[in-house]
Amino acid sequence: MCYASQLIGSKGDNLHSLEAWIRYGDEVRRPLCVAEDFHESSAICIVGAGLSGLTLAYRIASKRPDIQIEIIEKSNRCGGVIETWSHNGWICDVAVNATRPHPAFWRLVRDLNLGTQFSPSNAVANSRWVSTSGRSRKLSPWFMLGRNPMRIWRGVKNARKGGRSVADSIPLTPINDAMTLGIVNDYSANVDADFLMPSMTQFGENPPRKWSKIKKQMQSTYPLFTPKRGSTASFAGGMQTLVDGLVETLNDFENVTFSLNVSVDSPEEVAKMRNLPLSSIAWCGPLSRNQGKYTELNIYAVGYTIEQVSAVKVGYGTLIPDTNCPVSGILHESDVHASPRAPEGHRLFRIMSPNIRHKDDEAVKDSLRDLLCKSEPVLFEKIGIRRIPSYPPGYMSSLDNNNPKYTKAGWYYSGISVTHVVTEAERIADLF
């Protein structure tokens, strides 16, 4: 069993107390997998310099300057999947481009003194669409309720039995597929509902007070600014701003060192290499699991003049579950953010094309003639590939069988969002 899921911290603060729920919200439902003696380490090695590893190092180093922390990264850069592409006034995030409201994320931004570069996303660009068979439909609560509400209710009820897929829990094809494709690049029948929506399925611990009251109390804990319901927020210059802020701050700590271009295969190898107990290792990188099953997503930055795409409504984006289309999603990058993402007089779109549908770059460009406009884009560039692990039904309930002799953290383990990895890191640091 994951030790920290039952642990009471050294200061007597139960990880599932009312205070923890107010501080961390429904992220408390997700398990922590922390080695029993991790908080007693005099030296720690964190494997993976993505957002999870960097935030974990920052939170622990801030609390315990007496602990020596080494961050090992296999590549020559920090950030992991967080990466921002830029060229001649065009700015596009390769993966995560914004964050949903969560006090833990706001606290991290404040503590890194990045508040002046962090702002609410464009409130006008909140419309989302689903495109199937050439027809685009706007997503709304009324659209959802108009599609057999009793069937939805039964799906949610069954989901609380645990181990169900998103397709079973939200029986709304193609909406469920559009949602999971946009988050984990997989169809809803293949995705664990407990993993994606633990609050809805009631996975893990239940709050000690009515959830609506806890959410109201959480609202009062936001530093910087209080986000509106359903809103997002982002950084000027993209999510790379957060990574750069973490790296710059960590470089100022005397007890933190970076080791880049160091490839390791297991926590045991790291422990032996650094002469540390296994309990002093935090693994924040990819895990060897699910028979190595991953999905790949090709990412494109595509730009037009405003005149070319004048017929395209301002909004957040469109998800496309149709398997015969090489594009699974279009995000309106320049619409969404408060800071500029395109040169003046232009709009930028981020295009997602799953490898399983991908024929070639030209096929993607051709599909945009129907999805966006007939005109030739002024910018069309493949900016990266995302590799996403699978989270099959039953995945979350299987986590208790994982090895608790070392710490596991990050979106490869128990959560997929930036709010998850930031919250998880702070929760783990609370043990010190």
CATH, residue 368: 3.90.660.50
227 in any annotated domain:
no
Distance CA 173, CA 171 (A): 6
Task: Note whether 159 and 201 are within 8 A (CB).
Answer: yes
- Which residues form the domain of 184? 127-196+294-389
Q: In terms of domains, do 344 and 267 share one? A: no
Query: Helices marked H in 25-165 — which ranges?
Result: 51-63, 103-111, 141-145, 149-159
Q: In terms of domains, do 406 and 382 share one? A: no
Q: In terms of domains, do 263 and 345 share one? A: no
Given a cut of 90, whether residue 172 has pLDDT beyond it is no
Q: In terms of domains, do 402 and 362 share one? A: no
Q: In terms of domains, do 191 and 298 share one? A: yes
CATH of the domain at 281: 3.40.50.720
Q: Is 246 left (phi over 0), alpha (psi -120 to 50) or beta?
A: alpha
109 in any annotated domain:
no
92 in any annotated domain:
no
Q: How confident is the model at residue 13 (pLDDT cuts 50, 70, 90)?
A: very low
Q: In terms of domains, do 66 and 131 share one? A: no
Q: What is the pTM of this model?
A: 0.93
Label residue 297 exposed, middle or buried (CB < 10 Å: 0-12, 13-18, 19+): buried
Given a cut of 80, whether residue 336 has pLDDT beyond it is yes
pLDDT tens digits, one per residue of 64-84: 999 999 999 999 999 999 999
To the nearest whole number, what is the mean pLDDT of the chain?
90
**What per-residue confidence (pLDDT) applies to 227?**
93
The candidate with the shortest Cα–Cα distance to 168, out of 207, 196, 128, 136, is 196
Given a cut of 90, whether residue 20 has pLDDT beyond it is yes
113 in any annotated domain:
no
221 in any annotated domain:
no
232 in any annotated domain:
no
410 in any annotated domain:
yes
Domain count, the chain: 2
Given a cut of 50, whether residue 35 has pLDDT beyond it is yes
The candidate with the shortest Cα–Cα distance to 21, out of 223, 217, 283, 186, is 217
Given a cut of 80, whether residue 141 has pLDDT beyond it is no
86 in any annotated domain:
no
Q: In terms of domains, do 379 and 400 share one? A: no
